[in-house]
């Protein structure tokens, strides 16, 4: 199964301040990008089953649970 390019996809924006996560779906693929980076910014692509697993377990990825330094 070849993953799509998401060119021309409808992107759902999750806020209105210009630095928002955007999500698009094409068939069995879901893409995530930052609206601040625009259309040519990086895109992270997941299979639908991977996305569903991430969303179901997102609370496991809080900064407290990840530990380490807050400096990137």
Check residue 70 and give its pLDDT: 60
Domain count, the chain: 1
Check residue 72 and give its pLDDT: 52
Query: Does pTM top 0.95 for this prediction?
Result: no
Is 19 contained in some domain?
Answer: yes
Is 43 contained in some domain?
Answer: yes
Place of tokens 């969303």: 55
The region that residue 38 occupies, defined by phi over 0 for left and psi between -120 and 50 for alpha, beta otherwise, is left
Cα angle 4, 8, 13 (rounded to 5 degrees) comes to: 100
8-state DSSP, 36: G
What is the C-alpha to C-alpha distance for residues 32 and 9, in angstroms, rounded to an integer? 12
Is 4 contained in some domain?
Answer: no
pLDDT digits (tens, 9 = 90+) for 9-52: 999 998 878 789 999 999 999 999 999 998 889 999 999 999 99
Expressed as residue numbers, the domain containing 36 is: 12-65
């Amino acid at each position: 199964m070849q993953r799509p390019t998401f060119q021309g996809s409808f992107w759902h924006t999750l806020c209105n301040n210009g630095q928002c996560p955007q999500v698009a779906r094409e068939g069995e693929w879901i893409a995530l990008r930052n609206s601040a980076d625009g259309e040519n910014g990086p895109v992270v692509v997941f299979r639908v089953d991977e996305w569903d697993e991430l969303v179901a377990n997102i609370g496991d990825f809080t900064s407290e649970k990840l530990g380490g330094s807050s400096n990137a």
